[in-house]
Amino acid sequence: MRHIDTLIYASWVIPVEPDDRVLEQHAIAVHKGEILDILPISKAVHTYSARITHRLSGHVLIPGLINTHTHAAMTLLRGYGSDKPLMQWLNEYIWPAEQTWVSDEFVADGSRLAMAEMIRSGITCFNDMYFYPDSVADVALELGMRACLGMIVLDFPSSWAKDPDAYLLRAEDLQKKYADQPLLSCAYAPHAPYSVSDEPLSEIVRLSAEKNLRVHMHVHETLDEIQQSIKDHQKRPLQRLDALGLLNDKLLAVHMAQLTDTEIQRVAETGVHVVHCPESNMKLASGFCPVAQLLKAGVNVALGTDGSASNDDLDILGEMRSAAFLAKAISGDASQVSAAQALRMATINGAKALGLDEITGSLEAGKAADITAIDMSALSTQPVYNPLTQLVYSASRDQVSDVWIAGRHVLKSKNFTTLDMQALNSKIAHWRSLISGADNVKET
């Protein structure tokens, strides 16, 4: 009998790969932060002894969920300027607030709140796009969370950098600083075609190829964006990005809510990954990503929440349900985006988009032990005929009980093990007082 670190018994295990099977009465053996084995409980009890054993009767174990598009620090602006179209929301609310408040402290506190919410929602990895990514990195390391750090690039100045060259210099410093951290990776994050000009985008194409790094960008989010691009560049945004060499298998194109059939085919041909944010797109009335068509064309589609200011939660379980229902409604075909496909979008597809699919995104021997346990004994998921469909169509994030990241038990019986909630609540109250107080002054 082999002695290992952790043994987790559960009623069901959904590994996602190599296929969409549901394993009943199985156990996951974890050692040195990795999945060692997945096997029937009847066999596990005779094969392994563990330093820690968890018996999660009535639970399903799934790969840790991946939030493939976030602006984590914007949790401190949750609900700020709601019920406005995208550009009005940005120009009149978000960008002025960011100019006033964004700092390394703002980003650290907002990111800590976001990561707490994500861990509590079963998310083990997130792909961020925001200022002060070093502050995001430090909080992720503190909480033990896996993160891809978006190295933001804009044409206009911010408290982080003064111009595109300065943004790219800071990106280089960030890569060097966290190069040896196994939970962290980096991606270039030019904000959008309308906020980054051709010269820095061309440099990002060169650097992405040279350093083998992803490019994370908002693309085709609204009809206004496309109309403005035609006016300014005589091209739709995707045409412009294609001419610059950005359409390739390193690009994560976020939103993609305005696509023609020709563009869908081009995205498939070039290997672009699409990140679908259904609830943000619905709230901002941006449009609908044609997920069923993209999947049929062979495009890798992942899921993101967007920032809490435009969603207003960081709930990938909820995004799975919304993505599946929207695809069915838009296509008029109830078979489109099945529960299994929705779960893949929230796990392995996100890992593939980030280039992390050899590490995370599915429950397989040799991969990191990024595991989420969901209690299916709740009234809302009873009776359980099919754990996979119940998970996607009935379960809520309130049923997440335990989360492991690289074998570290960061959420245990719904309690954080790496986070001081009292200190976090104090920080949140501080920022709410500052921001709401400033708004009251402006109004008077």
pLDDT score at 25 = 98
Read off the amino acid at residue 435: I
Closest Cα to residue 120, out of 425, 422, 401, 434? 401
Contacts of 208 (CB under 8 A, 6+ apart): 188, 214, 215, 250
Tell me the percentage of the chain whose pLDDT exceeds 70: 98
How do the domains of the chain map onto residue ranges? 2-63+367-413, 65-353
Structure tokens, 360 = 């995370």
The CATH H-level superfamily of 65-353 is Metal-dependent hydrolases (3.20.20.140)
> For residue range 90-118, what is the model confidence (pLDDT) as tens digits?
889 888 888 899 999 999 999 999 999 99
pLDDT score at 143 = 98
Question: Rounded to whole angstroms, how far apart are CA atoms 376 and 399?
Answer: 7
Read off the amino acid at residue 116: A
> For residue range 44-82, what is the model confidence (pLDDT) as tens digits?
999 999 999 999 999 999 999 999 999 999 999 998 878
DSSP letter assigned to residue 167: H
> For residue range 416-442, what is the model confidence (pLDDT) as tens digits?
999 999 999 999 999 999 988 765 434
pLDDT score at 437 = 74
Ranges of residues in the chain with a pLDDT under 70 are 438-444
- Domain 2-63+367-413, CATH class in plain words: mainly beta
Decide whether 2-63+367-413 matches 65-353 in CATH topology.
no
CB 219 within 8 A of CB 256: yes
